[in-house]
Amino acid sequence: MDLTDKVAIVTGGASGIGRALVERFHAAGARALVVADLDGDGATAVAAGVGGTGVRCDVGNEPEVRSLIDDTVAAHGSIDLVVSNAGYVTIGGLEAADEDLRRMFDVHVMAHVYAARHAIPHMVDAGGGYLVNTASAAGLLTQIGSMHYSVTKHAAVALAEFISVTYGHLGIGVSVLCPQAVATNILENSPTRDQMPGDGAGNAASVDGVLTSEELAEMVIAGLADERFHILPHPDVAEYLRRKTDDVDRWLGGMRRFQQRLFPDGQNPADWLVG
């Protein structure tokens, strides 16, 4: 997909990956950019820097997502690309409150459902369009220390697969963005920031390096140009995924050993449940 003269929405666009994507899409020649975020002031500030529109939007609220998309089409005549990017991380396992999982599912999964549900009809009428759903390497592998993040990011990848299979013949393209560690404020914004045990869970995704948001945005541009389903900014993820699919039992054993290295004092996620 070529961004030249395209109309794009980026959610979670007030900071981090979302902001970098907005700025890179502008540099690539996008005609109109709509920046959406729960932080409406932040979205407006980012949009002002690219001549776009900033909108406050709770992506877990379907009427707000529907309005975001319909208003964009009304203002610009079409919608070519929706980047469903909002997200956050928590720490915890089976002991965590059910409501925490439901809220994360809304943001990491239902937000993608709502975006696709309301954008695809407009895209089909216009002859096609593209979705980029931000997942994580955790959606292909797992996230040590965070059951909720692992489960919801896996669901996000599965949803994108379903969309590709089901709507591809109608001209709908989809990619899932699956990075490991990126230098953003995602940890600082976590509702369980004070529960993170030292460097353990936070270090799990950074073993293969930490990208800047700008570096990641360049890789998204390349992935869109090739219309790749998996956009893997950290190339090692492809090898880890191959090992997992080749021998899942061996891979799980390796992940257990990796967890023990991350939590050498024995304070691993299971200990939070059994006390």
Query: Looking at residue 91, what is its pLDDT?
Result: 85
Which of 274 and 89 is assigned the larger pLDDT? 89
- Would the pLDDT of 185 be above 60? no
Mean pLDDT, rounded, of the chain: 90
- CA dist 203 and 17 (Å) reads 19
Q: What is the mean pLDDT of residues 65-87?
A: 97
- CA dist 128 and 95 (Å) reads 44
Q: How confident is the model at residue 205 (pLDDT cuts 50, 70, 90)?
A: low
pTM over 0.75: yes
- Would the pLDDT of 198 be above 80? no
Task: State the pairing for strand pair 7-11/172-177.
Answer: unpaired
Q: How confident is the model at residue 181 (pLDDT cuts 50, 70, 90)?
A: confident
Query: Looking at residue 209, what is its pLDDT?
Result: 82
Segment of 23-37, 179-193, 196-210 carrying the highest mean pLDDT: 23-37
Q: How confident is the model at residue 145 (pLDDT cuts 50, 70, 90)?
A: confident
> Virtual CA dihedral for 253, 256, 257, 263, nearest 10 degrees?
180
Which entry of 88, 130, 149, 240 is annotated as an active-site residue?
A: 149
Q: How confident is the model at residue 269 (pLDDT cuts 50, 70, 90)?
A: low
In this structure, the chain runs to a length of 275
State the DSSP code for 146: B
* CB-neighbour burial class of residue 148 (10 A; exposed 0-12, middle 13-18, buried 19+): buried
Fold of 7-274: Rossmann fold (3.40.50)
Percent of the chain exceeding pLDDT 70 equals: 87
Q: How confident is the model at residue 192 (pLDDT cuts 50, 70, 90)?
A: very low
Give catalytic status of residue 240 as yes or no. Answer: no
Q: What is the mean pLDDT of residues 158-169?
A: 98
Query: Looking at residue 270, what is its pLDDT?
Result: 58
